[in-house]
């Protein structure tokens, strides 16, 4: 606390990636060299909590080039406000309304964004960006064959 006021809530960012299965997104993160926690969220795909909020935009740019034909959305909570960015093909697109997205996505997305849900509590959560890239490529190829 400084100046007698309350300490500002730290900013926090998450990426919502329309990939089914935390194992798949974890492998994509490894290929893209993006580090963070991958949390499966039924009805939204997966949520990636980047290692640092400052890494969110770079992570979105990288992941949106590998997850072709899909939008990667960055949600950021700072100073009591939530903003959204949409990324496709490595480029930032027109920003969507964060409130609208949060109203249609499962509650877990908002709880992860606000730090009210510990990723460790969600079954299937994995570390993204870990391990050798060849193993990640092998894992993705194997999962595509299985469907």
Domain range for 68 is 12-140
pLDDT tens figures, 96-127 = 999 999 999 999 999 999 999 999 999 999 99
Report DSSP letters for the chain, one per residue: --TTSPPPPPPEEEEEE--S-HHHHHHHHHHHT--EEEEEETTTEEEEEESSGGGHHHHHHHHHHHSTTS-EEEEEEETTEEEEEEEETTEE-PPPPHHHHHHHS-HHHHHHHTT-S-GGGSTT-EEES-S-HHHHHHHHHHHHHH-
What pLDDT digit, counting tens, does each position of 22-67 carry?
A: 998 998 999 899 999 999 999 999 999 998 888 999 999 999 999 9
Q: How many domains does the chain have?
A: 1
Residue 5 covered by a domain: no
| Residue 24 within any structural domain of the chain | yes
């Amino acid at each position: 606390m400084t100046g007698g006021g309350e300490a500002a809530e730290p900013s926090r960012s998450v990426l919502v990636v329309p990939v089914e299965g935390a194992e798949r997104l974890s492998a994509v993160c490894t290929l893209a060299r993006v580090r963070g926690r991958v949390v499966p969220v039924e009805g939204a795909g997966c949520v990636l909590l980047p290692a640092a909020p400052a890494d969110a935009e770079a992570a979105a740019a990288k992941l949106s080039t590998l997850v072709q034909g899909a939008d990667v959305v960055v949600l950021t909570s700072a100073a009591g406000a939530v903003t959204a960015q949409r990324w496709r093909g490595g480029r930032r697109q027109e920003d969507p309304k964060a409130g609208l997205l949060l109203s249609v996505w499962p509650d877990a997305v908002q709880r992860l964004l606000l730090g009210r849900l510990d990723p460790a509590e969600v079954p299937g959560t994995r570390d993204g960006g870990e391990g050798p890239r060849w193993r990640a490529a092998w894992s993705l190829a194997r999962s595509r064959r299985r469907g």
